[in-house]
Amino acid sequence: MIISDHHHDHDPGHPKTGDESMPGYYEIMETAVRELLVEKKLIGPGEIRRQIEVLDSRTPALGAKVVARAWVDPEFKARLLANGRAACEEFGISFYDDTQLIALENTDQVHNLIVCTLCSCYPRPVLGLPPDWYKAKPYRARAVKEPRVVLAEFGTDIPENVEIRVSDSTAMVRYLVLPQRPAGTDNFTEEQLAALVTRDAMIGVIKVNLDNRHTP
């Protein structure tokens, strides 16, 4: 099911008219705006397609590689924490927007969580597009008010003696959580470590643990 971030409990999904060949009102508007902008030479004819390719190239696997590198290379980690964008760019990840990136390190004392209460700002160059729940009201409304309860809904229990820091993203400043490297991974290669790091761990709603492992 698809949800959206508003107050009413209805399914805003994508109404099927029965005639699949007929685009809906908003799709027609999208096509019309795009074509008018091209006709007026405000944007180039191939730019939307090229940007879709850029969007498709961004997945949480990029962020996972950054995290794994930070775990194995203390100097890279220091640079990442000093300037997230510069470190990612050095690592070969281009930023296609004007955003800054701040990497937030989880420790035994601090657990970080990211949110965008006003809209859906997200570290897209390194993680791709956000999941629907990140854009929806329950997460945006509650993450800043009762983060421990929200984390519990993701199955994450943070001990009372660990501080939870919630960072609220903006149009210009985005965050990436640098999760803690799990115990028992001393012999892992960088690639094996990256395979443990999930999108949700880099948002901060879960920890990285050996059960997260997916096939690289």
Partner 1 sequence: MNPTENLVKRLPTDMGGLPAGRVQQTEHELLPWEKRCHALADVLDYHKIINTEEKRRGVEQLGGDMVGALTYYERWIVAFALILFQKALLTPGELAKKMDEVGARHAR
Per CB under 8 A, which of residues 60..119 are in contact with partner 1? 96-99, 115, 117-119
Stretch that binds partner 1, among 75-83, 101-109, 148-156, 190-198 (CB under 8 A): 148-156
DSSP H helical ranges for 40-195: 47-56, 60-72, 74-82, 84-90, 124-127, 132-135, 137-142, 147-153, 190-194
Options 82, 145, 190, 192; binder of partner 1; rule CB under 8 A: 145
Per DSSP, the three-state class of 207 is coil
121 is catalytic: yes
Number of residues that bind partner 1 (CB under 8 A): 66
Write the CA distances from 45 to 23, 31, 51, 56, integer angstroms. 21, 12, 12, 19
Compute the least distance from the CB of residue 190 to partner 1, in Å: 28
88 is catalytic: no
Between CA 204 and CA 20 the distance in angstroms is: 39
Per CB under 8 A, which of residues 21..50 are in contact with partner 1? 21-23, 26-37, 40, 42-43, 47-49
State the virtual CA torsion across 33, 36, 42, 47 in degrees, nearest 10. Answer: 70
- DSSP, residue by residue, 29-78: HHHHHHHHHHHTTSS-TTHHHHHHHHHHT--HHHHHHHHHHHHH-HHHHH
Compute the least distance from the CB of residue 9 to partner 1, in Å: 9
Task: Check 57, 88, 121, 167 and give the catalytic one.
Answer: 121
Compute the least distance from the CB of residue 88 to partner 1, in Å: 18
Q: Are 123 and 175 in contact (CB under 8 A)?
A: yes
Options 132, 164, 182, 185; binder of partner 1; rule CB under 8 A: 132
Q: CB count, 10 Å around CB of 50?
A: 10
120 is catalytic: yes
Give backbone dihedrals phi and psi of 30, rounded to 5 degrees, phi first.
-60, -45
Of 25 and 161, the one with the shorter C-beta distance to partner 1 is 25
What does the binding site for partner 1 look like in residue numbers (CB under 8 A)?
1-8, 12-14, 21-23, 26-37, 40, 42-43, 47-49, 51-52, 54-55, 96-99, 115, 117-121, 129, 131-133, 135-142, 144-145, 150, 153-154, 168, 171-172
Residues with catalytic function: 116, 119-121
